Structure 1
Amino acid sequence: MSKFQLTTDFKNAPYWWDAAPLTEVAGGALAPSYDVAVVGSGYTGLRAALTLARAGRSVAVFDKERPGYGASRRNAGFLGRTLKKSYIDLKAAKGAAFAAAIYRDLMTAYESTLAFIEEEGIDCHAVRCGRLIAATSAAHYALLDRELSGMKADLGLPYAMLPRERLREEMASDLYDGGAVIPDLGSLHPGLYHRGLMERALAAGVAIFGNCEVMAIEQIGQQGDRFRVTTAAGPTRAQDVIVATNGYTPKSLPWHARRLIPFVGYMAATEPLTPTLLQKQLPHRRTVIDSNLDIDFFRPAPDSPRLLFGGATANGLEDPVAIASLLHGRLRRALPDLADVKLSHVWTGQCAGTFDMMPHIGCHDGVWYGMGYNFAGVPMGSFFGLKIAQKILGLTDGVTAFERDAFPTLPLYRGNPWFLPLAMRWFAWQDSKLAKSTSLPVIPSGAGRRAA
């Protein structure tokens, strides 16, 4: 049996911080007022701030931690047109026109993020590497084929099914019952992408205040400086306010916190591997997710010969060694060639789901928001930041299909997801039930399944 080990230079910190370390950012003296105040310095907040500043607005961004401390420099760096709620489920629940509009916006979010990175010259290893979705059972494989064939028929989105006997063309694993290759999806280095966004926002004149918590947002009028924003650096005023805190939304923003389900995601990085060993694991250097509701995922590091991977979402563990042990077990189960490799980094990050498994963008009591990304934060966070800025600027381009539905919550819920352990067990039960089925299943309404 392999012995789990950590490297001598092991870090309980994101791998991405090696190339994009966090820095202190002081926005200077707090001005009496700004055109726009942004709460949260992730992709959503910075993309909105950059767009607004370049349009001539004065913008201040506030973050409780150092900018980049949250999910924007912790996530896996997957780029896709992905929803936790599947296309065929959405189509059945909301109709073909609504589902098509949502997935067109998902494609726009993906393509526009790649185009923005290229136009801005942000060096963050953004590539169209393709994605493998590994089926965890024959029934999962059949459901995956049905989902993707429906998307291809209605939306023209490409895919290719890979039966079990051909899976090793894509991944050195015998764990899965085949899978599907989505050839046009991508990946990037999330830390370098965030750093590039922040550098451009600062160059455009955005004032970024790190270690500066926003304690309150109060509406004080209908014209001019409509809001008073109370921060750790003192009070200021703003004509418009954007809340872009996603999984780090505080209870001091109760309307938003009641609509988000924060949960912890786990990731790890291996020690450097030989090029031959790494090439064997993922011959085409694609990103990989499995077909479960609670996914495991894998990808090559974009800037070193390591494998990055994650899973065990919302497991409840906090000790880094215990997290590393759990993740290493997932790694050697899927990729047995790596059973004896050591782990160099382990880290966690706060994500956010929603009760309808959909991202949401809109305006409540005059305050703009974009959040609830359900594992799609890189392209959707960037896209929502752009759309919010366009809305504030009065541009018709700000319209998106994601603003059509109300942002739901549950009675008595106040932002404390006490039910997460039960939900994860239910997801596991659903996956097990599906795996044991002998006929093509009907997707439960609202269950959703990641497809692309």
Structure 2
Amino acid sequence: MSNRAVYPALKELARGNVPDRASLVYRPFWWEAAPPRDEASTRPPATADVVIVGSGFTGLSAALTLLRGGRQVAVLERGVPGCGASTRNGGQVGSGNQKFRVKHLIELRGRAKAESMLREGVLMLDYIERLITSEGIECHFERCGRFRGAVREEHYEAMARDMEDLKAVAGVESFMVPRSEQHKEIGTELFFGGSVLPNDASLHPGLYHSGLIQRVEELGGIVRGSAGAESIIPEKHGFTIVTRQVKIRCRNVIIATNGYTDGLVPELGRRIVPVGSGQITTGEIPESLFSRLMPSGRVYGNTKRVFSYFRPVPGQRRLMWGGRVGRFASHRSTNAYCHLARDLLSVFPDLSDVPVTHGWGGLIGYTYDEVPHLGRTRDGVHFAIGYCGTGVSRATYFGHKVALQLMEASESATAFDDLNFPAFPIHPVAKRAVPFVETWYRLRDHFNI
């Protein structure tokens, strides 16, 4: 009897009618090229200059900067290093300009602050490219550009005005693609045209993460999995970090946990709400069909409130599709990914017979004001968290900057330093309300209200 895996077709998954023998691989597709490490038997050190809690892009970027600044660094992870959002995301790399229209950001923050935040977003994108190049990390980084499809006619006009404002305020280049020309960007009739940010990028998040770990360890840094911090005790000249295996004494602490931020530092836990994100990956798509559907090879998104993001897998004719996670089903059940298959087929109905091989989920860290934050708590704990779903370049850049701030370096300032970091008014209620808010947004998308 053959042991060959049987995967559901997209149309079967979309209908929730998956054959009994068919299933998905319930782990990130990116782990195929960059498998997680097994570190259960390795103890953390007893001392360090700096302990970083969280081994994602933020923590590892901070570790690199600190190590090059002469600090001894230990990075602690509750599970497997990188097991959270850093190896579970879509690998789309932007400047973080997608959360607010420019005019709305100016209304919220004033023109000067809005301009500085938007321009620093461009610096974030440039920084991650320089880091990957200088460190020689092979992770398929490419300035492929981003196409964002308008799901309503009025969205196209609103995007056009916003792209004009983005150019005027922050110097960001873009161009609009009318519906009559969008076949050059994407093979679908669903959208009413769209916008292109040609300088946005993509990478393989698994390979990027493993490359960061390798560079940190080559510089003498310590990265430990199965070593979750259980408490942080402030002391006269630093901190004691209590883990299950050992107590670690250090001078400084950085919290880099984003969507996995909990009550370890209550001051931060009240300021982050975790939001689930889910992804699926298809099997190989025939070349003629693949090149027609995604001729420009960009990364893609849309203008829905509950938006989707998708892209070709580097070096393969596969499609990765992401969106919000299925709320009322286990992540190890095909039911958690039916809605993603339906969303995919609404854009690319020609893929109905293509198999789906992988399905997985992760947590995004959302802040009340929908901007990321870095700084220090009242007890002197440094932090960089809250990327709100646009974390690849932001996390890398914020990790670098919070490390510079810890070392009191002259180039450590950011446009985000003086922003108030508001707590969620009723944090437990806000966490429970996420699926209901998402359902309301889906209804508004459907009925255009």
Distance 2:429 2:70 in 1: 36
- How many equivalent residue pairs? 432
Aligned-pair distance for 1:64?
Answer: 0.3
**Cα gap change, 1:416 to 1:150, in 2 (>3 Å):** closer
Aligned to 1:396: 410
Say yes or no: does 1:148 pair with 2:157: no
Q: Secondary structure at the match of 1:267?
A: strand
Equivalent residues in 2 for 1:56-135 (5 A)? 56-83=70-97, 84-135=99-150
Q: Secondary structure at the match of 1:349?
A: strand
Q: From 5, 12, 20, give the equivalent of 1:3.
A: 12
Aligned-pair distance for 1:2?
Answer: 4.2
8 A contact 1:251–1:415 mirrored in 2: no
**Cα gap change, 1:291 to 1:416, in 2 (>3 Å):** closer
Say yes or no: does 1:360 pair with 2:373: yes
Distance 2:183 2:353 in 1: 20
Say yes or no: does 1:262 pair with 2:267: no
8 A contact 2:11–2:341 mirrored in 1: no
Aligned-pair distance for 1:337?
Answer: 1.1
1:295-315 alpha-carbon deviations (Å, 9 max, x no partner):
111100003210111123464
Aligned to 1:380: 394
Aligned-pair distance for 1:25?
Answer: 3.6
Aligned to 1:300: 312
Q: Please, which moves more after superposition, 231-240 or 412-421?
A: 412-421
Distance 1:368 1:201 in 2: 19
Aligned to 2:357: 344
Q: Please, which moves more after superposition, 290-299 or 248-257?
A: 248-257
TM-score by length of 2: 0.92
1:202-228 alpha-carbon deviations (Å, 9 max, x no partner):
11111111011100011111x3xx111
**Cα gap change, 1:299 to 1:30, in 2 (>3 Å):** closer
Aligned to 2:432: 418
**Cα gap change, 1:315 to 1:140, in 2 (>3 Å):** farther
Distance 1:31 1:325 in 2: 44
Q: From 290, 305, 314, give the equivalent of 1:278.
A: 290
Which segments of 5 or more consecutive residues in structure 2 lack a partner in the other structure? 1-9
Distance 2:295 2:240 in 1: 54
1:258-299 alpha-carbon deviations (Å, 9 max, x no partner):
100101101000011122221111101110100112111110
Distance 2:315 2:41 in 1: 31
**AA matched with 2:212:** L
1:41-78 alpha-carbon deviations (Å, 9 max, x no partner):
00010111121112211111110001011111000000
Aligned-pair distance for 1:410?
Answer: 2.8
Aligned to 2:342: 329
**AA matched with 1:359:** P
Q: Secondary structure at the match of 1:218?
A: strand
Aligned-pair distance for 1:32?
Answer: 3.1
Q: Please, which moves more after superposition, 180-189 or 83-92?
A: 83-92
Distance 2:39 2:219 in 1: 15
**Cα gap change, 1:428 to 1:28, in 2 (>3 Å):** closer
Aligned-pair distance for 1:147?
Answer: 1.1
Q: From 34, 40, 62, give the equivalent of 1:48.
A: 62
Task: Please report the RMSD computed on the Cα atoms of aligned residues, expressed in angstroms.
Answer: 2.0
1:62-104 alpha-carbon deviations (Å, 9 max, x no partner):
1000101111100000011124233221111211110010011
Q: Secondary structure at the match of 1:418?
A: helix
1:153-205 alpha-carbon deviations (Å, 9 max, x no partner):
22221111112222222111111111111111110000000000000001111
Aligned-pair distance for 1:36?
Answer: 0.3
8 A contact 1:331–1:339 mirrored in 2: no
Distance 1:3 1:208 in 2: 42
**AA matched with 2:256:** A
TM-score by length of 1: 0.91
Identity %: 33
Q: Secondary structure at the match of 2:159?
A: helix
Q: From 231, 241, 264, give the equivalent of 1:216.
A: 231
1:412-450 alpha-carbon deviations (Å, 9 max, x no partner):
4258601112321343355457x46xxxxxxxxxxxxxx
Distance 2:196 2:188 in 1: 15
Q: From 266, 288, 293, give the equivalent of 2:300.
A: 288
8 A contact 1:26–1:208 mirrored in 2: no
Say yes or no: does 1:228 pair with 2:237: no
Distance 1:308 1:146 in 2: 30
Distance 1:227 1:144 in 2: 48
Say yes or no: does 1:243 pair with 2:243: no
Distance 1:280 1:412 in 2: 48
Aligned-pair distance for 1:399?
Answer: 0.6
8 A contact 2:278–2:337 mirrored in 1: no
**AA matched with 1:352:** G
Distance 1:388 1:185 in 2: 24
Which segments of 5 or more consecutive residues in structure 1 lack a partner in the other structure? 437-452
